[in-house]
Amino acid sequence: MNPKKDRPGPRDCKTELIAIKDTMELLSGKWKIQIVGALMLTGRIRFMDLLRETPGIAAKMLSKELQELEQNGLVARSVMHTKPITVEYELTEHGQTLKRLIEEIRNWGMEHRKFIKASIINDFS
Amino acid sequence: MNPKKDRPGPRDCKTELIAIKDTMELLSGKWKIQIVGALMLTGRIRFMDLLRETPGIAAKMLSKELQELEQNGLVARSVMHTKPITVEYELTEHGQTLKRLIEEIRNWGMEHRKFIKASIINDFS
């Protein structure tokens, strides 16, 4: 029996660190989570409506962010041959898997804020 | 009855976005998750040993990162009055709550990598 067998080796650790880095890079920045969150709430939506659902973002930035999300297989873009052309966006099935993760990130942040507030109160009492 | 009552209002959304931003800021950067991960594996540990457990980090950077984690109540620092003085670090109870979140971030990243690999294979076949 080799007790070391059950512990992650250097290679496993590297794979895990890369996985963490990938996720953090994909979700960091000011807009990605907001856009994904908006798409979760609205479902399939036209570009101009998504622009309204993401307050403060510029059209150019939204376009750039959507392109990155599309390249990562998280968002699907459909071009409708109407006049004028309509472009719609929605989360892919893979994009939907972000829901639980974003909820965990939000929940932890809310607990953390409570913790910090309680610590400040304790420090001053 | 007000059906709007069950939907998050602008204020709730803002609180949730801030919570997400807090978490992402706290965990982003090259080292924070690696340091927290090392502390999870090792438990209470001396500075020099933690330096070895976080490959590639400079002592000055480790010191800075630990200070930030301490300010956020995630890491506790103990000074032992030995000769020479020994300083030890460990996760606080609050710091331990990051475990599940980091696991979720890692798991999502690993699934995402699988998904991207499968997409590339499909594109070329």
Q: From edge to edge, which strands make up the β-sheet containing A86-91? A: A45-46, A86-91, A75-80
Nearest CA distance, A84 vs chain B (angstrom): 31
> What length is written for chain B?
125
Is residue A19 within 8 A of residue B117, CB to CB? The reply is: no
CA distances from B13 to A34, A55, B28, B89 (A): 10, 12, 22, 36
Is residue A109 within 8 A of residue B18, CB to CB? The reply is: yes
Is the CB of B112 inside 8 Å of chain A's CB atoms? yes
What does the pLDDT look like over B53-106, one tens digit per residue? 998 999 999 999 999 999 999 999 999 999 989 999 999 999 999 999 999 999
- pLDDT at residue A1, rounded to an integer: 46
| Cα–Cα distance, B49 to B20 (Å, whole number) | 32
Question: Radius of gyration of chain B from Cα atoms?
Answer: 20
Helix (H) or strand (E) holding B76: strand B75-80
Mark which residues 87-106 of B lie under 8 Å from A by CB. Answer: 94, 97-98, 100-102, 104-106
Nearest CA distance, A109 vs chain B (angstrom): 4
Residue of B72, B94, B113 with shortest CB distance to A19: B113
Q: Give the burial class of A112: count Cβ atoms within 10 A of its Cβ; 0-12 exposed, 13-18 middle, 19 or more buried.
A: buried
What does the pLDDT look like over A15-43, one tens digit per residue? 888 898 899 989 888 899 999 999 998 99
- pLDDT at residue B125, rounded to an integer: 67
ipTM rounded to 2 decimals: 0.84
Is residue B40 within 8 A of residue B97, CB to CB? The reply is: no
- pLDDT at residue B14, rounded to an integer: 78
* Beta carbons of B104 and A102 less than 8 Å apart: no
Residue of B19, B24, B102 with shortest CB distance to A20: B102
Is the CB of B24 inside 8 Å of chain A's CB atoms? yes
Is the CB of A120 inside 8 Å of chain B's CB atoms? no
